[in-house]
């Protein structure tokens, strides 16, 4: 099942400016689908982990749920039918899923926990189109150097950690903290380009 020549764009079901930048980098034309947040958030995109859920299953479940909900929104809003791309990123430390910090105190606690050690960054990607859903998973390892209390305090005060899984952005000031990565840099940012490109090709996206 491929895209016809009439489909030259996709929907990105994400608010993330980093994912928008990454799609633009590889020449994908897209429109953005925005989900509701806060007290009016769509229950279909609830990011609460299930009891005992592994990080791999968690990010793939959420990416798929977001892509499927994006297709429902297209129908409800009577938008043009196009493939929906969605992604979800989380960290795993000691078998525990670490999402976005709840507040600055939580962000500081997360960064202190990451200091001087390695963790995993997992990003699930999903594409939904015409009743077909395909997913892909990117897993990377990241090692932080030892961080001082002052460094953590100043980084949290910058506001950068607050909307990011694991309370840091590798493409921002936190690049100073990272000694080593093994895996996908773009996956750590929130959208693994190799896996994303392969998924879109499977649906016939015209990379030309």
Let me know if residue 16 belongs to a domain: yes
Which among 90, 82, 86, 97 is positioned nearest to 125, based on CA atoms? 86
130 in the Ramachandran plot: left (φ > 0), alpha (ψ -120 to 50) or beta? left
Q: pLDDT band at residue 11, thresholds of 50, 70 and 90?
A: very high
Classify residue 119: in a domain, yes or no: yes
Q: Residue 165: pLDDT above 70?
A: yes
How many Å is the Cα radius of gyration of the chain?
17
- Residue 1: both structure tokens together: 């099942």
Domain span holding position 155: 10-202
* Average confidence (pLDDT) over 49-58: 95
pLDDT tens digits for range 68-97 = 999 999 999 899 999 999 999 999 999 999
Active-site residue flag, 163: no
pLDDT of residue 208: 72
10 Å CB burial of residue 78 (0-12, 13-18, 19+) is: exposed
Helix/strand number for the chain, H first, E second: 6, 7
State the pairing for strand pair 84-93/118-129. Answer: antiparallel
User: DSSP states of 136-182 as a string?
Assistant: EEEEEEEEE----HHHHHHHHHTTGGGGSGGG--TTTGGGGGEEEEE
Cβ(156)–Cβ(111) under 8 Å?
A: yes
Of 70, 32, 26, the residue nearest 197 (C-alpha): 26
**Residue 174: how many CB atoms within 10 A of its CB?**
23
Q: What is the CATH number of the domain that holds 188?
A: 3.90.950.10
- Between 133 and 37, name the one with better pLDDT: 133
C-alpha–C-alpha distance, residues 44 and 73, integer Å: 11
CB atoms within 10 A of CB 208: 4
Is 102 inside a domain boundary?
yes
Whole-prediction pTM: 0.91
Among the listed ranges 52-66, 70-84, 172-186, which one has the minimum average pLDDT value? 70-84
The reply to whether 2 falls in a domain is no
Q: What are 105-151's pLDDT values in tens digits?
A: 999 999 999 999 999 999 999 999 999 999 999 999 999 999 999 99
**Among 46, 88, 103, 106, which one carries the catalytic annotation?**
88
Report pLDDT for 108.
98
Q: Is residue 3 part of a domain?
A: no
pLDDT, mean over the chain: 92
207 in a domain, yes or no? no
pLDDT of residue 192: 98
Is residue 1 domain-resident? no
Residue 5 included in any domain: no
- For residue 202, give both structure tokens: 């499977």
> What gap in Å lies between CA 67 and CA 69, rounded to an integer?
5
* C-alpha pair distances (Å), 103 with each of 99, 144, 172: 12, 21, 19
Domain count within the chain:
1
């Amino acid at each position: 099942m491929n895209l016809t020549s009439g489909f030259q764009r996709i929907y990105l079901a994400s608010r993330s400016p980093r994912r928008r930048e990454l799609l633009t980098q590889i020449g994908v034309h897209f429109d953005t689908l925005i989900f509701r947040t806060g007290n009016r958030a769509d229950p279909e995109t609830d990011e609460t982990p299930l009891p005992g859920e592994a990080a791999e299953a968690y990010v793939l479940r959420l990416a798929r749920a977001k892509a499927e909900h994006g297709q429902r929104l297209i129908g409800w809003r009577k938008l043009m039918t196009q493939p929906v791309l969605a992604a979800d990123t989380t960290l795993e430390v000691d078998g525990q899923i670490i999402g976005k910090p709840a507040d600055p105190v939580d962000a500081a606690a997360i960064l202190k926990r990451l200091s001087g050690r390695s963790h995993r960054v997992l990003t699930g990607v999903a594409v939904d189109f015409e009743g077909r859903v395909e997913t892909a998973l990117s897993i990377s390892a990241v090692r932080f150097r030892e961080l001082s209390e002052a460094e953590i305090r100043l980084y949290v005060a910058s506001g950068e950690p607050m909307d990011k899984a694991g309370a840091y952005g590798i493409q921002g000031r936190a690049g100073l903290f990272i000694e080593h990565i093994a895996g996908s840099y773009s996956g750590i940012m929130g959208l693994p380009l190799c896996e994303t490109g392969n998924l879109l090709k499977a649906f016939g996206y015209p990379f030309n």
